[in-house]
Amino acid sequence: MKKQAARKSVSKPAARRDAGELLLEIGTEELPYQFIVPALASLKDQAARALAEARLSYGALRTYGTPRRLVLVIDGLTLRQASVVKETMGPSKAVAFDAGGQPTKAALGFAAGQGVPVEALQVRSTPKGDYLFAVKQDTGRPAKAVLQELLPQLVGSLTFPKAMKWNETGVRFARPVRWLLAVFAGSVVPVQAAGLTAGNRTYGHRVKTGNRPMTVRDAKSFEQALERGGVLVDPERRRALIQTQLDRLCATSGLVLHADESLLDQAVFTTEWPQALIGSFKPDYLAVPSDILMTSMKEHQGFFSVRTKKTGGLAPHFIAVANSQVKELSLIRAGNERVLAARLADAKFFFDEDRKTKLETRAAKLGGVTFHQKLGTMGQKQERVRKLTEFLAAQAAPADTELAQVCGRAGSLCKADLLTGIVGEFPELQGIMGGEYARHDGEPAAVAQAIREQYLPKALEGELPESLPGRLLSMADRLDSIAAFFHVGLVPTGSEDPFALRRHATAVVRIILEGGLRLDLRRSIEQARALILAEGFKGAAESEQQGLRRIADFLFERVRHYGRTVHRLRDDVMDAVLRVAPGAALDLADLLRRMQALQAVTLKPEFDPLIVGFKRASRIVEKEQWSRGQVDPALFSHPAETELHRQTDLCRKDFEAEMGQGHYDRALDHLVRLKPVIDAFFAGVMVNVEDSAVRGNRLSLLKTVDEFFKSFADFSRIMVQGG
């Protein structure tokens, strides 16, 4: 009995009688794999929004996708819209009724328009006076009727980077829509979209089932039918299966997979029933740099690369993921090997031809390559990057002549590989091939590495350059782009950022903070902008200071984003520190340490009351008008004045000593020590006395305290209770 009770306690709850399951499938020709994930996300968001607007509640909403279908499943969807009382305001009472209290044409017309008797209209008081209201109880329509209107709109709302028309309806979709399936609560919803009428039939794997339809009644039978028909509709099941197959093939072959999440995503969304297989290519191709081989396999064929366990070097094998259940995969393997051989032969040809011309020779021809129509040539950009890299090197290590030479040489060659055949074929290898060809040309290893690392990080959280010259070259390239595009007014707006300037700015912040660079970002911005101005490009009408301020503010936004997401810093804390930065050197590493110290001290119980007192002093100083002079202790008439002046001088000495050593936490502790004397001053001293000399002296004392605090941060920006 106990066992039966236990089983009963974990049984699933009975299905609600007032709700049903919705299954929608949009069947298509093979979709580009890149389109599927965004389309599923949009389908989910649009469905949730549409159901909310239609007053249809539900339990859970999920999506699935394969190259031939986009699927939406909604559990616990109510069978009827929620009822609602609708109130509509009509004409004013004065207009709606005549002198005898009879309804006018205005009232009669309003009632007719709302579908209610005129005597049912209500008079209500509003801020504008008495007005008529029509109050109607909307009990809601059956969900199936609503879905017949809603689902076609949902299908039509999906957008794609590229879309096409294929029939007389003029509907645009990524690929032609071939069937629609829509089932709600066990029955078909005969919606019409894209020239089709939805039914309860789906289609399995093209090879296994051909065009034989399969009838389904709900999501469970849908998934079961598709699986029998050679389709795993759930992408996560396909992902797990592919990963298992990859691991098994590598284990049995003694190889190590080169993990690549983007390739795994591609395999998931280019297959309906994945089957991984291993193939080979001629070992002779291993003489070509592995970056070229791996990129060719990935970009042209979608193949995974593998390495040998013993050396870790690239192995003459690949793993392909076929969309097939065929047990004998030899034909597919042979076809993949044949196609890859041709690709690798092309890559080897480009590589061999590229090495016949030195980077230095190519660099001289960059004057014929346009960087941007408003910003001249790539040759001009490379020269600016060279000068800026040398400038940064002089800041980072003033006495290191070798660093300056490496940076200058790397800067003078950094864009030359844009003219090579390999980069023309695989743009994602720019920089990587520049480093490879620099090494082949006999350039110093440090120069080759810097050129190779110049585009790192490639993503917001990607790996950073390892070498100092690489970090400086990457930073210079990005600062030049930011300064250049800001100069000609091509700046990010809203979600639009066609030149990836936000990513460049984030990279600059990461390179400085995570790469350990100690330099003045303000001077770096000034130099980048000066190099742009020297080119004579036509720019926005603004002063020099305005131009610099805009770039600095843009970079500060990325500092705030970095501090918020990486170090969990509060916005008010970051703003307080950055507010004192405009007139000073911009050492981001130093500013970050100040932010961290300030946020730590805000947790102390005495901090909030201290800031309340500081803000009070700051407001008094800002509001009052007086001729500021030196604080004169002879004018003190209250012990609290004397003590505040004395303690401020004492704390300032200790504060400056700790600041000089970078002990910001200790420096802030000295500011906190002033709380009792600030409290005592406001408790015992009246600032606005009639004696103008005493009043001015007390204001000067408060101004001294205000400036003392602001030498660390603008504490008026800190949010505290009571302040």
Q: Give per-residue pLDDT as tens, 147-185.
A: 999 999 999 999 999 999 999 888 999 999 999 999 999
Q: What is the dihedral of CA 362, 365, 371, 372, to 10 degrees?
A: -160
Backbone conformation region of residue 194, classed left if phi is above 0, alpha if psi is from -120 to 50, else beta: left
pLDDT-wise least confident of 58-62, 318-322, 687-691 = 687-691
Q: Is the pLDDT of residue 723 over 60?
A: no
Three-state SS sequence of 387-400: HHHHHHHHHHCCCC
Residue-level pLDDT at 15? 53
For 463, the token pair is: 């790996």
Alpha-carbon gap, residue 506 to 464, rounded angstroms: 12
pLDDT tens per residue across span 420-475: 999 999 999 999 999 999 999 999 999 999 999 999 998 888 899 999 999 999 99
Q: Give the bridge partners for 84, in sequence order.
A: 138
Residues linked to residue 308 through DSSP beta bridges, in sequence order: 255
Give the confidence band of 704 by pLDDT, cuts at 50, 70, 90.
confident
Listed ranges 83-87, 207-211, 473-477, 647-651; the one with the highest mean pLDDT? 473-477
Alpha helices (H) along 355-444 = 359-363, 378-396, 401-413, 421-425, 432-440
At residue 10 the predicted structure's pLDDT band, cuts being 50, 70 and 90, is: very low
pLDDT tens, position by position, 317-333? 999 999 986 667 788 89
Query: What integer is the mean pLDDT of 258-274?
Result: 95
Confidence check: pLDDT of 38 > 70: yes
| Each residue's pLDDT tens digit, 176-234 | 999 999 999 999 999 999 999 999 999 999 888 778 999 999 999 999 999 999 999 99
Tokens of residue 401, six digits: 């002549």
Q: Where are the alpha helices (DSSP H) in 194-309?
A: 206-209, 219-228, 235-253, 261-268, 290-296
Binned at pLDDT 50, 70 and 90, residue 4 comes out as very low
Cβ count near 332 (within 10 Å): 17
**Strand 314-323 to strand 304-308: parallel, antiparallel, or no bridges (unpaired)?**
antiparallel
pLDDT of residue 722: 54
Mean pLDDT of 294-318: 93
Ranges 96-100, 472-476, 539-543, most confident: 472-476
And the tokens for 338?
């044949």
Considering only CA atoms, which of 449, 423, 404 is closest in space to residue 366?
423
With 80 as the cut, is the pLDDT of residue 6 above it?
no
Tell me the residue length of the chain: 723
pLDDT > 80? residue 14: no
**Residue whose token pair is 């009727």:** 145
Query: What pLDDT sits at residue 326?
Result: 67
Q: What is the mean pLDDT of residues 281-304?
A: 94
At residue 583 the predicted structure's pLDDT band, cuts being 50, 70 and 90, is low
Predicted TM-score of the model (pTM): 0.78
Q: Give dist(CA 77, CA 61) in Å, integer.
A: 9
| First-residue to last-residue Cα distance in the chain | 65
